Structure 1
């Protein structure tokens, strides 16, 4: 980057006297080759033009980082050493199915999971800290999955 800047500064007096609209074909080609070489050497110069900022994603980045920090702070209580935790509750139509499917998947892959029943005050408090009120939901070290997840989705996350 410094070399490119030095070349530009050194060439500034000449460039100030050059009419870029009146370049010959050979001069345009030489300039194009120089610009290409600089962009290949310093691709970050062209990055904003090639991949403009995603302001929508940036707006949620801080919230996502806060959520990950929250999960990390509660990992010992929520996951208790397992790769996934399932929160279930009473009067929950999908909870039994979610539990049965997760048991089958973890048996298949030889892994464990932590089961939190939200009628237990400690589990309810963990769910509240996570901002989750409706069971079932799953917690992993890097995500929370709200609602019953189909077997194929959970296998994708838990497969060795």
Structure 2
């Protein structure tokens, strides 16, 4: 209600071909009270202006965008049409658990996954292009998950 009143109040000077500086003191006081009430009711309207720029988030945003572009470029080779890819390595107990759990999930939820064995030089090179050298890790269209992820967490990601 207050928002619609404020928008109307802001439109009236334009319709009357006047400006805010031409308001009387009483009009200015009433308008200020309405703006204050609106901002008290809807603090998010002014939150961004009051917070200022978040330079750290902007820097990470650039890195995240670069990572997403890399995933997009490599998705055909990594996912090969599946929902998720798992990279494993020899002599890796966590890899054995990850593969077994992902196998169970794929059967239970009819989800296709691609298994990459990093003992293969081409697969190892693909993992290096992704910036990951230690197995196990999972790749999905928009994210990489490092380490062995519990099956309950994977199910949440895969069944969204």
| Paired residue secondary structure (2:66) | helix
Aligned to 1:101: 101
Gaps of 5+ in 2: 1-6
| Paired residue secondary structure (2:93) | coil
**Is contact 1:4-1:38 (8 Å) kept?**
no
Aligned to 1:157: 157
Aligned to 1:65: 65
Aligned to 2:19: 10
Aligned to 2:90: 90
Compared CA separation, residues 65 and 6, structure 1 to 2 (3 A) = farther
By how many angstroms is 1:32 displaced? 1.8
Give TM-score scaled by structure 1 length.
Answer: 0.77
Give TM-score scaled by structure 2 length.
Answer: 0.77
Gaps of 5+ in 1: none
Aligned to 1:32: 33
Aligned to 2:123: 123
Q: Distance in 2 between matches of 1:110 and 1:153?
A: 17
Q: Distance in 1 between matches of 2:38 and 2:67?
A: 40
| Paired residue secondary structure (1:46) | helix
Q: Distance in 2 between matches of 1:121 and 1:95?
A: 18
107-116 vs 46-55, greater mean Cα deviation: 46-55
Q: Distance in 2 between matches of 1:36 and 1:30?
A: 9
Cα deviations across residues 77-130 of structure 1 (Å, max 9, x unaligned)? 000000000000012120000000000001101111000000011111110100
Q: Distance in 2 between matches of 1:27 and 1:5?
A: 15
